[in-house]
Structure 1
């Protein structure tokens, strides 16, 4: 079987694919890819949520590669590319944890440009980026075609919020303690706290958002049984939790 194409966003915030993973991590991602494939041959949408620097983007890239090797075309997107324009920051609070949760993301744009058209009954004309979080350039007219069997993988904090939670055919939660999120975020993006509103939130804000994450996760988040290799499954819906210990070997 030939490898299908992975379509990437035009956003300048796009992160590179991670280095080769450990055998355990590769097996884990492969198992989740099999679960995606088992959902059917039509268009699918996978949401990847977690605290800042939990590994959402890296996992999304790894999952995309597995699915592409299985012959499924993949579209990769991030909710960071569907935030409200920074020029409008004076209109609402986006600095506090609560304000960031309530106001940073443009869910109407994410639904209209990305989630609806990428669905089984959608047009298939998908914008993988609305507003570039770094350059603030509007890329909503740059469209990618989602083939009938395409899988759209979207990573981002608050992906399981009520506004968009129903769009996911599979949900993946990247589980890390808040203190780990802060440490990784500060190390990976040391200047992030000086560039408010561009990309992810500053590392200290990540910790303040942790209670909001726990309150906004999809139903049944508190009723999980632990499976093998760091995976826990929730009872209702399609939710997979990846624990912080199953990584590429970098902490």
Structure 2
């Protein structure tokens, strides 16, 4: 395994070039930015929006936090149940129906940026957006890979167990067993298109097999 250090700005630049170079002019490009909250996948995805738009690609950032299931379903087994969190807090069917399929082959480009307001526990009633051909959808969040969601690019942000425990806020420590299951059962590092270590957010590194 080879580890190549990059700067945060360099990582954004490399991902921008990768996505812009692969986005089809007559279709759409779907990229997953996968990682636990401690790895800040939402922040990385948001940092890509401006550079991709500057390259001529209409870009929409979608967070899985805006596609959670209603509380009655999500919290059926308690508010701090790591197995329930791992097995289905995100409404993957809704994410596929409203975002990934419309931005996939044969789609219309008409996507919904958010579906559910978890704080108010009600639909966001967001307006649909029409992405023109050549557009990019960035989906950020945790536990995104391995369930069959369709992406043209899967980026996995990984921390060592010690770094993950250290950087996870105390109120979210109950989620740590879910990430242990994810690493053991899904093993996203073995199939993600790009794996980035972020033990120190100021010094990310791209992992690759020699």
Shorter-chain-normalised TM-score: which range? Answer: 0.7 to 0.9
- Give 1:159 shift: 0.9
- Where structure 2 has 5 or more consecutive residues not aligned to the other structure, the ranges are 1-5, 204-210
CA displacement 1:174-216 (0-9 Å, x = unmatched)? 1112332333231xxx6xx3xxxxxxxx2x1232112222122
**Higher RCO structure, 1 or 2 (CA under 8 Å, sep 6+):** 2
The verdict on how the C-alpha distance between 1:78 and 1:217 changes in structure 2, with shifts beyond 3 A counting, is farther
Does 1:116 find its partner at 2:101?
Answer: yes
What is the CA–CA distance in structure 2 between the aligned matches of 1:113 and 1:107, rounded to whole Å? 10
Q: 1:47–1:153: 8 Å Cα contact kept in structure 2?
A: yes
Task: Show the counterpart of 1:57.
Answer: 42
For residue 186 of structure 2, what is the aligned residue in structure 1? 216
- The answer on whether the counterparts of 2:39 and 2:201 sit within 8 Å (CA) in structure 1 is no
1:133 pairs with 108, 118, 122, which one?
118
Q: Would you say 1:80 and 2:75 are equivalent positions?
A: no
Give the unaligned 5+ runs of structure 1.
Answer: 1-22, 194-201, 223-233
Judged with a 3 Å threshold, the aligned counterparts in structure 2 of structure 1 residues 142 and 105 are, in CA distance, closer, same or farther, namely same
CA RMSD of aligned residues (A): 2.4
Instruction: Write 1 or 2 for the structure with the bigger share of helix.
Output: 2
Given that 2:32 and 2:140 are in contact with CA atoms closer than 8 Å, whether structure 1 keeps it comes out as yes
TM value normalised by structure 1:
0.70
Across the two proteins, how many residue pairs are aligned to each other? 196
Calculate the TM-score normalised by the size of structure 2.
0.82
Which residue of 1 is the match for residue 154 of structure 2?
171
Aligned residue number for residue 174 of structure 2: 205
1:241 equivalent among 177, 195, 203: 195
2:18 match: 35
